[in-house]
Structure 1
Amino acid sequence: MSRSRKLHRLSNPDADERRAQRVLFRHLRDDTNANRGRMARRVRELQLLMAMDPVDFEQLVARLMEAMGLKVELTARSRDGGVDVRGIDTDPFRGGNVIVQVKRHRDTVPPSAVRDLYGTLRHDEAATKAVLVTTSKFGPSSHQFVTGKAVTLINGSELVGLLKHHGFHEVFAAAQEDASAEAAGLDGLPAIEVAAEPARLLLHWTGEQEYDIAALVCRGNVAVSDDHLVFYNNGSTPDGSVRLVTGYEDANACLMVDFDALPADVDRLVVIAAADTENHPDATMAGFAGPALILEAGPDQDAAVMHLADGAETNTAMRLGRFDRDSGGDWEFTPALAGYPGGLRQAVVAYGLEVEDA
């Protein structure tokens, strides 16, 4: 698919989509006491990480990488070249050599730090990917810079979620109660910026075929812009609110979505699966069997699972469903299935993007 796309008007709303059955899959706003309590605990959790000795913090990230299946080496601090940890992912498909830099920041990480790490990656003959881990967050310009580059940004909320997911609960024991946090002296630390933890949209299917996942950020039935189509050739929206992540756990595909960070006038997120016809011209959706879409909204909420229909041989792309924002600000998922014989190209044209061949 060409990267040259132009927006044109969409005149025909999808009648089947309007009639699609509404189901659970809700992302709640951060305006309840319970959510405010979770945000306060997250601040204390990040303060605990900030209070760690720098070497201990690097070792914690290294242990997390080992728990995720990587072979890890801590670099010598006198000659690390800005790299704190090196990891080797031995997976034959997604594996490679990873360089990791960790930054215990209280404020938003400046874009210059992201650019510097990318420069280190380009001059490192062994490295195939770079990861920047922080206790705070990244701004839109940093997310925009890493689009299409082998650089992953992990903010503080994502780091806490990964640590908990892989069993490092003891790190945050002192943040469970206010009294424990005060006893640890955390209240004396300066305020720390907390990024909302993005929801994870995980796609699973059976079979040997490879499929791509894509997301369209829309106002109604029209995509916001070319840059708001997130797919294999454009890994993030300009503000980083929707990101494509490779090699996440055992999922076949993963999207990270910060629903609260989506622009206020955006009210729809469309999820699409597509066959890789660029590398396999005869591929169809026939091998897309037993698909399931899983929403992990955060460590304090149970995951929601939606089992979807199998793909058909007549199609090369398939709309799996959409998230809609209601008048109260909540998001609800609709399994609005539709097949596209013309592949991802036909799917994005249906949402107002014009695709020109190279």
Structure 2
Amino acid sequence: MSRSRKLHRLGNPDADERREQRMLFRHLRDDTNANRGRMTRRVRELQLLLSMDPVDFERLVARLMEAMGMKVELTARSRDGGVDVRGIDTDPFRGGNVIVQVKRYRDTVTPSAVRDLYGTLQHDPAATKAVLVATSRFGPSSHQFVAGKPITLINGSELVGLLKHHGLHEVFDAAQHDASGFDGGDALPEVEVASEPARLLLHWTGEEEYDIAALVCQGNRALSDEHLVFYNNGSTPDGSVRMVTGYGDANACLMVDFDALPGGADRLVIVAAADTENHPEATMAGFAGPALILEPGADRTPLVVHLADGAAANTAMRLGRFDRDTAGDWYFTPALAGYPGGLRQAVVAYGLEVEEA
């Protein structure tokens, strides 16, 4: 089913739905018992990955890449040059030659591993981007290093989510049972579990391309230039908000770890913008039937907010914002605003300075 046909069914919200939208994203955090059960299952899922044969793990990542629509080649271990899998992403807008390195780590991946992959990317004439896949997590230094570079970091929790999202559920069948049901029982390796980010998916109808951006703010002021996540800055310094690709038929996707956002941040603003750099005549007129979908984590029901169509008078529009209340819970408010001056005008409105072209 094409993206357009699927999204035509999302329709405009009725009055009751609009009244409920303010509460739709409230209570992103689970109650203690539900969270404990989900964490236990995630530990088991990551233990399964960590216990895999190294070659089988590489093949699993290759299968995932194929399920995401890439053409894939496993490298020979004797001459891989630090590359485990090569892929060609044929997407006409986001595609390229991808080199992938996989790490079956139980502890936080060291920043040196990330820097080494960047060195490999720089010396590979065919590669346009690199991906580091790990069974554990990445620290703030690693996320800060890759900011603005063509490198994507995928931690263990995100890997589990991607495998499930693309239909590879059978990998985790054993994790549905007690730990004693695993081969090896209590001998399974311990593993450090990364927090599970929410996925913010943005859909719209039609063929026009738009960019998504997010501003991490305190009130109506962005924390810094580095807390604007957009096409030229794929991540905040701590990795709490990141742009990703490959989530089914989503037009755009942000990973947001709400618990990891800076303590001073109490607002996350979401903006969509026309690609006027490559298409000077583009406007928001083609931004039709937009819907913002929150996938709060594994095995949780996605939540949907339908938004207003774009207008030809604007080249960017604010879609809404997440606000943190005094209890620490986040809630979403559709807060539409048009910007004739595009993303630049939207950024300036939140206190950031932009150099003149």
TM-score, length basis structure 2: 0.90
Distance 1:213 1:112 in 2: 30
Secondary structure at 2:38 match in 1: helix
Partner deviation per Cα, 1:220-273 (whole Å, 9 max, x = no partner) = 111111111111121110001001124542211111111111112211100001
> For residues 27 and 348 of structure 1, do their structure 2 counterparts lie closer, same or farther at Cα, with a shift above 3 Å needed?
farther
Identity of matched residues, %: 84
For the Cα contact (< 8 Å) 1:20–1:335, is it kept in 2? Answer: no
Match of 1:258 in 2: 257
In structure 1, give the amino acid aligned to 2:234. Answer: G
Q: In the alignment, which residue of structure 2 is the partner of 1:322? A: 321
Q: Measure the CA separation in 2 of the matches of 1:204 and 1:107.
A: 36
Residue 174 (structure 1) aligns with: 174
In 2: Cα distance, 1:164 partner to 1:122 partner = 32
- Partner amino acid, structure 2, of 1:143: H
Asked whether the equivalents of residues 209 and 287 of structure 1 are also in contact (C-alpha less than 8 Å), the reply is yes
Residue number in structure 1 paired with 2:122: 122
Residue 71 of structure 2 contacts residue 87 of structure 2 at CA under 8 Å; is this kept in 1? yes
**How many angstroms apart in 2 are the aligned matches of 1:134 and 1:267?**
30
Structure 1 residue 30 displacement after superposition: 5.1
Q: Within the alignment, does 1:343 sit opposite 2:342 as a pair?
A: yes
Matched residue, 1:148:
148
| Alignment-derived partner of residue 218 in structure 1 | 217
* Residue correspondence of structure 1 range 95-106 to structure 2 within 5 A: 95-106=95-106
Structure 1 segment 104-253 matched on structure 2, within 5 A: 104-181=104-181, 183-253=182-252
**SS at 2:323 equivalent:** strand
- Distance in 2 (alpha carbons) for counterparts of 1:246 and 1:66: 14
Moved over 6 A (4+): none
Q: Report the CA distance between 1:184 and its aligned residue.
A: 2.3
The structure-2 alpha-carbon separation of the partners of 1:224 and 1:64, relative to structure 1 and needing over 3 Å to count, comes to same
Gaps of 5+ in 2: 1-18
Amino acid at match of 1:336: A
For 2:233 and 2:94, the matched residues in 1 are separated by 18
Q: Note the alpha carbon deviations across 1:330-354, whole angstroms, 9 max, x for none.
A: 1111111111122212212222223
Q: Which residue of 2 aligns with 1:76?
A: 76
Q: Are 1:50 and 2:50 an aligned pair?
A: yes
Matched residue type, 2:210 = Y
CA contact (8 A) 1:156 1:194 kept: yes
The alpha-carbon deviation at position 180 of structure 1 amounts to 4.2
Distance 1:98 1:346, change over 3 A: same
Compute the TM-score of the two structures, normalised by the length of structure 1: 0.90
Mapped contact 1:212–1:253 kept (Cα < 8 A): yes
Which SS does the other structure have where 2:237 is aligned? coil
Greater displacement, 229-238 / 245-254: 245-254
CA distance in 2, matches of 1:272, 1:62: 33
Q: Secondary structure at the match of 1:335?
A: strand
- Preserved contact between residue 165 and residue 247 of structure 2 (Cα < 8 Å): no
TM superposition shift of 1:203: 1.0
Give, as a single letter, the amino acid of the residue that structure 2 aligns with 1:133: V
Does the 8 A contact of 2:50 with 2:189 survive in 1? no
